[in-house]
Amino acid sequence: MTKRKKVIKIIFIVLAAVLIVLLGIYINHQVHLKAEAQLRLPLGQMVEVDGHNMSIYVEGTGDLSLVFMSGGGTCSPILDFKSLYSLLSDTYQIAVVEKFGYGFSDVVDKGRDIDSILEDTRTALTAAGLHAPYVLCPHSMSGLEALYWAQKYPDEVSAIIGLDMAVPEYYDRMNINIPIMRIASWTAHLGITRFIPGISDSDAIRYGTLTDDEKEIYRAMFYSRTATVTMIKETEQVKKNAETVKSMGIPQLPMLLFISDGSGGTGFDKEIWREIPIEYISQVDEGEYIELNCPHYVHDYEYKTISEEIFAFLSER
């Protein structure tokens, strides 16, 4: 056998071995997904939006409705926010809207321009029997949607409470790596993520108040809602969405921003991460901010402090 043929044979054997391993990983993933089906039963109600199912969770019966809006890529928004909203729902009605591609909502391959995202959220809330005005509580990327909501439908938004929320100026400096997201999507779809220790343990699991059963549900959701096609499309559109929101100016309404130290995946250092929203809120007549010494998912770390500050902020209005 010639040297060239030996090399080709070795390459063929290696490729065959890799394919067999990947097939085994994928089969293992499918077996686990089937076993986890009961864990993925919706925690809230499912409503129809644009011909698809969207998940919304409602708790409490207060006069004020607080709408929690998740950051980009959060696989289980209902559980991610639980440590915080469970401290508020005795006084306020809270709602968590899970966008398409997130949580228990359908994964859909559709455009994610800011208008489409907002109209989906508004439709879901109405279908669930909620009515404006709302106090919007966005985390991270959903800050764009909340600001746009206040710009486009000012009568529907009474206040914004930003949980380390994004403002448009962040995206002037942010580097977004879509190829990395596609690789993450591919590895999640195959089930490779199941072999990475601790990867499914979110900040909500590690630092929040979830029960053991809720932690298991969160992990099950992670394996079925990581870097979905809907999330990727949303990320592809986010810079354009930020430009749209920025072009409409800064809405003037009561606004409280909780600002993290920038750690936990923002890609910014502490100084820049805080400088941008502080400059933004300085242009809001009824704007306030509170700096927190914790990572980006502030509601999983400082839920007690945040809940107390929310009570104080809303009681003044």
pTM, two decimals, is 0.93
User: What confidence score (pLDDT) does residue 9 get?
Assistant: 81
H helices within 73-174, ranges in order?
Answer: 77-80, 82-85, 114-127, 142-152, 170-173
The number of angstroms, rounded, from the C-alpha of 121 to the middle of its chain's C-alpha atoms is 13
Tokens of 220: 């099950």
pLDDT, residue 1, reads: 60
Across the range 44-53, mean pLDDT stands at 95
Is the peptide bond preceding residue 133 cis, with omega within 30 degrees of 0? yes
pLDDT per position as a tens digit, 103-151: 999 999 888 999 999 999 999 999 999 999 999 999 999 999 999 999 9
Whether 91 shows a pLDDT value over 90: the answer reads: yes
pLDDT for residue 237: 94
